[in-house]
């Protein structure tokens, strides 16, 4: 799978994580009460999604249509990108192309510099997170304020988002209160969400009014019309780009949909899948710049074309970033978004991250029980758990899994590949389990048995019992 | 009808009663089953780890051993899914595989889809929680999946519901994963245990006396936690209940 | 790996994409879908607006809107009102306003939506004939009018009926701005309007 070795991505934060997924997950689950709280919060969202989906009789049909539209768009991506560029340019927008995160960051910075913009408001964009735009701009002396409430909370705390739709889902209100008290002097100990949100609104209003540019992500770009669609509940993207004269919209090249009418399918699916709302509060359609303003659109590859080149993984580019796979994933819910050490966590993140850096993210395809819930919940029908399984094959082939795992699988093959060895091994295991003292079978090095008992070993195997039964019947 | 019995390796060695119950259920319905002695493992543990080179020889064995049967039946949704859905990637256009993957059945779906069983003449007067093992649920569609909308078939649940005296309890999360996941149970111990505990607590809170599933592997993990924590809940494989086993 | 031409990323990306083969899938026809139809789309629309945190009232004429609004705006002590609806007075003239920042203290905006969607309570509004689109977002309170004859069942019908202003701006607005970013507690009034009142005419 050579094509997926992509070297052209943002290099700044690419050192392997100090801890892999199981280690970070074990730390998260050690605080059982908190892990349960986190699981419950996300399960609540999943249930809201179920209620919304149930209210649409054609739900499964919509998923199929969405998948077809995305597959079509992906197959014809270069043509649609050019059409989009033409249409957008005709209306006065300026389209930029960035092969990787570094180019993207430079383009954005140059635009800000040209326009003497020192203060910028930004609405949610996983792409800019992925490219690490904030630290880049800050290093150049530009103030960037993330205006989505959840994003702002994690920004103030110096953390990355832990979820693509609910960036601060891992943070408790008491902690938000502390952070706000520290940074914007809210009342100490007042952790009423309404109070905290009001204070944030008040504080961020001034940021909106003082900004010289607004940066947004993009949910959908329509090739046919050259338009952009941006969905928010807070209204922060709209407010952020309708005050200053400069709007920079950053999008991955996979965000293209062919036709205006295609939006109907995706808009029906997106918010219902994401948060269990019938639609986001604001579903905004931008065609060209405001009168007297500028609209710059940055089209970014940053590893997407590498994913597109591989037929097993290309469907991952259908993703509309709803986060439903995270909300439903029993592992994500209990291990938290940060345990994935990737901008996009959860099942879709575990498929996309290894495409960027298989060595760094080798543990992600294994952070999964292969339960398949993500595949069924995905509004664009990405076969997520099949892709995670396929990634395991890649990892094994490239010897990126621990030697112990590889050896035990080889051993397994040898023992299970020979029925005599298998029967003997089975007998030994059962005999050992019955005869050896528990401290010898359930010691600390046996990870299975640290918190679980081993099965009670029967005297006889099934095959022995079956033989005896057959004999009895014949007699 | 030549029916080959496919008993997963760990069931053979550690849960012989599940295999025996499967035999009884089928024989009572007039099906004579054959157990090919040479069988060992379908190769799923290796495949799920990504070690396809270690999977192929096992899958090859399996194909040779089971190709001659009209049907292959197994008390494991997970292993059946391995054969039906995941062998394809290991063999190139093998005509035997085509037959095998279409005629390998999980026990309950064999009863419902092939034998057209509506009701089994057994009694089980207990409160039972059905833990829908994931591969049986989402890869074989043995029951309705909570993520999917519209009409869906329910096979395991329907068979169980038809049993005299049984009371199926409503779980808060009807089809959440138990956290076994093969090597996941060991590699991701923290999450695995938490998932198992949550699954067990859901059953206990719903008033279940017995927790049942189509896969003994889920139950091995859950039973391990139950015994370690002395939780008042029994685990029984679906085959045992369908065979009319008593609560021991 | 393809070569990267740093000076021409456009060509790099397009060349890369063109060198790959991706299975072709036909674009589905969306006009023939068997989409949900509500027995009473107006009632569904009204219920959805309430579900998403807005207020909705069915009313017979613009003059009664004005009457209702009189007491509404008084209650809210609105000082600065912009109205784009004939028969409903406002005291802000966008023609006098050169910079959208001047609208900072806007309290109240009254506008007519072109279309309402029953399945989600969304109302389509555009900045056609509107100098500053920021009015929709900066105002504290927003009042939208929709004619009952302009309410459609689903987004499919909605997108089929509307054409976006090009260049220009259009938004499906459903309910007041909101957030649940703090422990999933829903708070109405994030950055956009704090209340939404819809009148169905």
Beta A282-287 vs C168-173: how paired, if at all? antiparallel
Per-residue b or e along A15-46, where b marks 16 or more CB atoms closer than 10 Å to that residue's CB: eebeebbbebbbebbeeeeebbebbebbbebb
Cβ of B20 and A465 within 8 Å? yes
Q: Which of C21, C154, C179, C186 to mutate to test the interface with A (most CBs of A within 10 A)?
A: C179
pLDDT tens-place string over residues A212-244: 999 999 999 999 999 999 999 999 999 999 999
> What whole-number distance in Å separates Cα of residue C82 and Cα of residue C72?
15
Residue of B nearest to A62 (CA): B149
Cβ of B147 and A451 within 8 Å? no
Nearest-Cα distance to chain A for B159, in Å, is 23
Cβ of B195 and A330 within 8 Å? yes
Nearest-Cα distance to chain B for A47, in Å, is 10
Cβ of A458 and B183 within 8 Å? no
Chain A positions in Cβ-Cβ contact with residue B187 (cut-off 8 Å): 22, 366, 405
Query: How many residue pairs bridge chain A and chain C with CB atoms within 8 Å of each other?
Result: 257
Cβ of C17 and A238 within 8 Å? no
Residue of A nearest to B227 (CA): A453
- Identify the bridge partners of residue C112 per DSSP, sorted by sequence position: C145
Is any Cβ of chain A less than 8 angstroms from the Cβ of B38?
yes
Is any Cβ of chain A less than 8 angstroms from the Cβ of B8?
no
Nearest-Cα distance to chain C for A94, in Å, is 13
Residue B117 near residue B111, CB atoms below 8 Å: yes
Cβ of A278 and C25 within 8 Å? no
Taking every pair of Cα atoms in chain C, the longest distance, rounded to a whole number of angstroms, is 69
pLDDT (0 to 100) of residue B90: 92
Residue of A nearest to C23 (CA): A75
pLDDT (0 to 100) of residue A133: 98
Residue of C nearest to A4 (CA): C1
Chain A positions in Cβ-Cβ contact with residue B221 (cut-off 8 Å): 452
Specify the DSSP element, H or E, that contains B222: helix B216-229
Q: Please name the chains neighbouring C, where neighbouring means 3+ C-beta pairs under 8 angstroms.
A: A
pLDDT (0 to 100) of residue C73: 65
pLDDT tens-place string over residues B169-224: 999 999 999 999 999 999 999 999 999 999 999 999 999 999 999 999 999 999 99
Nearest-Cα distance to chain B for A9, in Å, is 26
Cβ of B7 and A463 within 8 Å? yes
- CA distances (Å), B78 to each of B8, B181, B203, in order? 10, 10, 22
ipTM: 0.97
pLDDT (0 to 100) of residue C68: 85
To 5 degrees, how large is the angle CA A78–CA A83–CA A89? 125
Is any Cβ of chain A less than 8 angstroms from the Cβ of C6?
yes
pLDDT (0 to 100) of residue C75: 64
Query: How many residue pairs bridge chain A and chain B with CB atoms within 8 Å of each other?
Result: 219
Chain A positions in Cβ-Cβ contact with residue C97 (cut-off 8 Å): none
The DSSP call for residue B82 is: I
Cβ of A328 and B186 within 8 Å? no
Domains annotated on chain C, with CATH: 39-200 (3.40.50.10420)
Candidate from C25, C159, C189 with C-beta closest to A260: C159
Nearest-Cα distance to chain A for B117, in Å, is 24
Cβ of A279 and C25 within 8 Å? no
pLDDT (0 to 100) of residue A16: 56
> What whole-number distance in Å separates Cα of residue C3 and Cα of residue C173?
45
Residue of A nearest to B179 (CA): A369
Residue A332 near residue A347, CB atoms below 8 Å: yes
> What whole-number distance in Å separates Cα of residue A62 and Cα of residue A271?
13
pLDDT (0 to 100) of residue C114: 97
User: Does residue B82 carry a pLDDT above 90?
Assistant: yes
Cβ of A278 and C100 within 8 Å? no
3-state secondary structure of B94: coil
Regarding chains C and B, contact by 3 or more CB pairs under 8 A is answered as no
Cβ of A261 and C119 within 8 Å? no
Nearest-Cα distance to chain A for B165, in Å, is 29
Chain B positions in Cβ-Cβ contact with residue A448 (cut-off 8 Å): 185-186, 224
Nearest-Cα distance to chain A for C82, in Å, is 17
pLDDT (0 to 100) of residue C78: 82
Nearest-Cα distance to chain C for A370, in Å, is 26
Is any Cβ of chain A less than 8 angstroms from the Cβ of C63?
no
To 5 degrees, how large is the angle CA B32–CA B35–CA B40? 155
Candidate from A72, A78, A277 with C-beta closest to C27: A72
> What whole-number distance in Å separates Cα of residue A362 and Cα of residue A380?
25
Contacts of B209 (CB under 8 A, 6+ apart): B126, B127, B128, B233, B234, B247
Structure tokens at C89: 């007075």
Average pLDDT, chain B: 96
Chain B positions in Cβ-Cβ contact with residue A37 (cut-off 8 Å): none
What would be the CATH architecture of the domain defined by A58-305?
Answer: 3-Layer(aba) Sandwich (3.40)
Cβ of A234 and C178 within 8 Å? yes
Cβ of A279 and C122 within 8 Å? yes
Domain boundaries in chain A? 58-305, 403-474
Nearest-Cα distance to chain A for B60, in Å, is 10
Whether omega for the bond prior to residue C167 falls within 30 degrees of 0, making it cis, is: yes
pLDDT digit string (tens) for chain A, length 475 residues: 333 443 333 333 445 567 999 999 999 999 999 999 999 999 999 999 999 999 999 999 999 999 999 999 999 999 999 999 999 999 999 999 999 999 999 999 999 999 999 999 999 999 999 999 999 999 999 999 999 999 999 999 999 999 999 999 999 999 999 999 999 999 999 999 999 999 999 999 999 999 999 999 999 999 999 999 999 999 999 999 999 999 999 999 999 999 999 999 999 999 999 999 999 999 999 999 999 999 999 999 999 999 999 999 999 999 999 999 999 999 999 999 999 999 999 999 999 999 999 999 999 999 999 999 999 999 999 999 999 999 999 999 999 998 888 899 999 999 999 999 999 999 999 999 999 988 888 888 899 999 999 999 999 999 999 999 999 988 7
Is any Cβ of chain A less than 8 angstroms from the Cβ of B188?
yes
pLDDT (0 to 100) of residue A4: 44
Mean pLDDT, residues C78-95 taken together: 91
Cβ of A44 and C184 within 8 Å? yes
User: Does residue C196 carry a pLDDT above 90?
Assistant: yes
pLDDT tens-place string over residues A161-207: 999 999 999 999 999 999 999 999 999 999 999 999 999 999 999 99
pLDDT (0 to 100) of residue A8: 36
Cβ of A234 and C155 within 8 Å? no
User: Does residue C85 carry a pLDDT above 60?
Assistant: yes
Per-residue confidence at B66, pLDDT binned at 50, 70, 90? very high
Residues 64-103 of chain C with CB under 8 A from chain A are: 100-101
pLDDT (0 to 100) of residue A1: 34
> What whole-number distance in Å separates Cα of residue C117 and Cα of residue C48?
9
Residue of A nearest to C133 (CA): A242
Mean pLDDT, residues B7-15 taken together: 97
Domains annotated on chain B, with CATH: 3-114 (3.40.50), 127-242 (3.40.50)
User: Does residue B148 carry a pLDDT above 50?
Assistant: yes
Chain C positions in Cβ-Cβ contact with residue A56 (cut-off 8 Å): 36, 119
> What whole-number distance in Å separates Cα of residue A188 and Cα of residue B119?
64
Candidate from C101, C183, C190 with C-beta closest to A243: C101
Chain B positions in Cβ-Cβ contact with residue A35 (cut-off 8 Å): 194
Q: Please name the chains neighbouring A, where neighbouring means 3+ C-beta pairs under 8 angstroms.
A: B, C
pLDDT tens-place string over residues C116-175: 999 999 999 999 989 899 999 999 999 999 999 999 999 999 999 999 999 999 999 999
């Amino acid at each position: 799978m050579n094509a997926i070795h992509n070297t052209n991505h943002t290099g700044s934060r690419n050192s392997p994580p100090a801890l892999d997924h199981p280690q970070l997950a074990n730390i998260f689950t050690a605080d059982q009460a908190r892990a349960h709280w986190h699981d419950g919060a996300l399960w609540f969202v999943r249930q809201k999604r179920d209620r919304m989906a149930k209210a649409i009789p054609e739900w499964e049909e919509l998923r199929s249509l969405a998948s077809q539209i995305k597959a079509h768009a992906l197959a014809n991506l270069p043509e649609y990108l050019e059409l989009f560029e033409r249409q957008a340019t005709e209306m006065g927008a300026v389209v930029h192309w960035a092969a990787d995160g570094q180019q993207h960051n430079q383009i954005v910075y140059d635009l800000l510099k040209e326009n003497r913009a020192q203060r910028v408001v930004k609405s949610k964009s996983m792409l800019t997170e992925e490219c690490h735009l904030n630290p880049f701009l800050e290093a150049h002396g530009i103030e960037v304020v993330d205006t989505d409430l959840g994003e702002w909370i994690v920004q103030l705390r110096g953390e990355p988002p832990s979820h693509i739709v609910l960036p601060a889902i891992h943070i408790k209100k008491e902690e938000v209160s502390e952070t706000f008290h520290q940074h914007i002097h809210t009342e100490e100990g007042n952790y009423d969400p309404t109070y905290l949100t009001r204070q944030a609104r008040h504080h961020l209003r001034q940021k909106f009014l003082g900004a010289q540019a607004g940066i947004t992500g993009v949910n959908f770009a329509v090739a046919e019309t050259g338009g952009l669609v941006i969905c928010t509940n807070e209204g922060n993207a709209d407010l952020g780009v309708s005050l200053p004269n400069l709007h920079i919209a950053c999008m991955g090249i996979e965000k293209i949909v062919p036709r205006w009418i295609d939006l109907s399918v995706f808009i029906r699916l997106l918010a219902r899948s994401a948060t269990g709302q019938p639609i986001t509060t604001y579903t905004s359609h931008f065609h060209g710049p405001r009168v007297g303003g500028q609209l710059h659109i940055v089209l970014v590859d940053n590893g997407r074309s590498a994913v597109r080149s591989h037929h097993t993984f290309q469907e991952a580019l259908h993703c509309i970033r709803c986060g439903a796979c995270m909300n439903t994933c029993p592992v994500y819910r209990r291990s938290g978004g940060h345990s994935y050490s990737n901008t996009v966590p959860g099942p879709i993140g575990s498929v996309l991250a290894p495409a960027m850096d298989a060595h760094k993210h080798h543990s992600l395809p294994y952070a999964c029980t292969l339960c398949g819930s993500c595949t069924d919940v995905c509004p664009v029908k990405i076969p997520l758990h099949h892709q995670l399984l396929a990634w395991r094959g890649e990892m094994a082939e490239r010897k990126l899994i621990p030697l112990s795992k590889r050896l035990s699988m080889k051993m397994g093959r040898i023992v299970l590949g020979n029925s005599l060895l298998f029967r003997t091994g089975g007998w030994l295991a059962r005999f050992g389990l019955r005869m050896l003292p528990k401290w010898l079978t359930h010691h600390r090095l046996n990870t299975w048995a640290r918190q679980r008992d081993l099965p009670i070993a029967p005297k006889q195997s099934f095959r022995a019992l079956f033989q005896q039964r057959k004999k009895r019947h014949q007699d | 009808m030549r029916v080959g019995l496919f008993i997963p390796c760990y069931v053979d060695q550690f849960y012989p009663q599940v295999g025996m119950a499967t035999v009884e259920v089928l024989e009572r319905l007039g099906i004579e089953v054959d157990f090919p002695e040479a069988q060992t493992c379908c190769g799923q543990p290796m495949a799920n780890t990504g070690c396809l080179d270690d999977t192929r020889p096992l899958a090859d064995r399996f194909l040779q051993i089971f190709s001659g049967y009209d049907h292959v039946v197994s008390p494991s949704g997970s292993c059946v899914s391995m054969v039906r859905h995941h062998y394809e990637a290991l063999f190139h256009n093998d005509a035997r595989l085509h037959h095998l993957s279409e005629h390998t059945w999980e026990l309950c779906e064999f009863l419902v889809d092939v034998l057209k069983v509506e009701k089994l003449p057994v009694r089980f007067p207990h409160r039972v929680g059905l833990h829908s093992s994931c591969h049986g649920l989402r890869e074989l569609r043995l029951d309705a999946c909570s993520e999917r909308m519209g009409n869906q078939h329910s096979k395991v649940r329907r068979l169980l519901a038809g049993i005299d005296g049984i009371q199926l309890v409503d779980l808060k999360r009807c089809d959440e994963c138990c956290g076994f996941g093969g090597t996941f149970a060991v590699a991701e111990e923290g999450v695995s245990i938490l998932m198992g505990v949550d699954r067990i607590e859901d059953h206990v809170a719903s008033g279940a006396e017995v927790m049942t599933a189509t896969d003994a592997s889920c139950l091995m993990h859950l039973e391990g936690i139950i015994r370690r924590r002395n939780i008042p809940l029994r685990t029984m494989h679906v085959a045992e209940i369908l065979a009319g086993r008593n609560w021991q | 790996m393809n070569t990267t031409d740093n000076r021409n990323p456009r060509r790099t990306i397009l060349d890369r994409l063109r060198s790959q083969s991706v299975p072709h899938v036909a674009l589905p026809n969306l006009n023939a879908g068997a989409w949900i139809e509500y027995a009473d789309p107006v009632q569904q629309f009204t219920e959805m607006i309430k579900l998403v945190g807005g207020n909705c009232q069915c009313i017979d004429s613009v003059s009664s809107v004005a009457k209702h609004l009189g007491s509404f705006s008084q209650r809210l002590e609105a000082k600065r009102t912009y109205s784009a609806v004939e028969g409903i007075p406002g005291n802000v003239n966008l023609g006098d306003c050169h910079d959208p920042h001047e609208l900072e203290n806007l309290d109240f905006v009254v506008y007519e939506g072109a279309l309402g969607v029953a399945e989600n309570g969304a109302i389509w509004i555009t900045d056609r004939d509107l100098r500053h689109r920021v009015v929709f977002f900066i105002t504290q309170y927003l009042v939208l009018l929709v004619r009952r004859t302009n309410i459609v069942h689903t987004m499919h019908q909605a997108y089929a009926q509307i054409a976006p202003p090009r260049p220009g701006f259009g938004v499906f607005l459903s309910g007041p701005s909101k957030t649940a970013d703090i422990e999933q507690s829903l708070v109405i009034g994030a950055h956009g309007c704090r209340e939404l009142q819809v009148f169905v005419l």
